[in-house]
Structure 1
Amino acid sequence: MRILLTSALAMTLAAMAWHAQAADPERGRSLAGQCRTCHGLNGIAKIPIAPHLAGENRIYIETQLKAFRSGKRQHEMMSVIAKDLSDEEISHLAAWYESIEITATMPE
């Protein structure tokens, strides 16, 4: 049982490492042009109802875009945008937004 769990963990980590390498933030940046109207090219939302994407976790962004694409999650604009995105394009977009570093200053 222990060998099985170790093998499963190793395979999962290898898949995660490959997936992280396969995602290209620069390709995502070029794809983000279609997102800029609402989310901004830099991931800072331009309209009050759109979330900021800058610095957001890649897995979260990928999960949400795939949910919009499949119809599991519905939104009149996002469902249309996501329906034509490939898994690879989603990964690139997610890598781009995750690569943006955000800092916050707490009030004193």
Structure 2
Amino acid sequence: MKKALLVLSGLFVSTHLYAAPPQTALCATCHGQDGISPMPIYPNLKGQKEQYLYLQMQKFKDGSRPDPIMKGMVAALSDDDMKVLAKYYAELK
């Protein structure tokens, strides 16, 4: 019984750690659900460095990297949202 509970709790933790954050719905149209863009004009996010992804989102938000589409996409994201997204895409292998 203890072994079964241990296995089940491990499965819960595993799926919880790798579940896509809800904010990825914003990114998926252009950058793909799995971080691989379906269109060559948009960059792949999968496996990029976490710090790089986070900094780019910050720059889009503050306007230091001008892009009207991306500025609109990140406008409603909090700093924590951007960190979660950066971590998620960086951890995709």
TM above 0.5: yes
Q: Which residue number corresponds to residue 76 of structure 1?
A: 68
Q: May I ask how many residue pairs the two structures share in their alignment?
A: 78
Q: Which residue number corresponds to residue 51 of structure 1?
A: 43
Question: Is residue 63 from structure 1 mapped to residue 48 from structure 2 by the alignment?
Answer: no
Alpha-carbon deviations, 1:39-82, whole Å to 9, x = none?
A: 01100012221100000000000000000000111112101101
Structure 2: which 5+ runs fail to align? 1-15
Return the match for 1:95 from 67, 87, 93.
87
Answer 1 or 2: higher relative contact order, Cα 8 Å, separation at least 6. Answer: 1
C-alpha root-mean-square deviation of aligned residues, in Å? Answer: 1.8
Identical positions, percent: 31
Q: Which residue number corresponds to residue 31 of structure 1?
A: 23
Alpha-carbon deviations, 1:1-58, whole Å to 9, x = none?
A: xxxxxxxxxxxxxxxxxxxxxxx96575321111101001100012221100000000
- Which 10-residue stretch deviates more, 24-33 or 82-91? 24-33
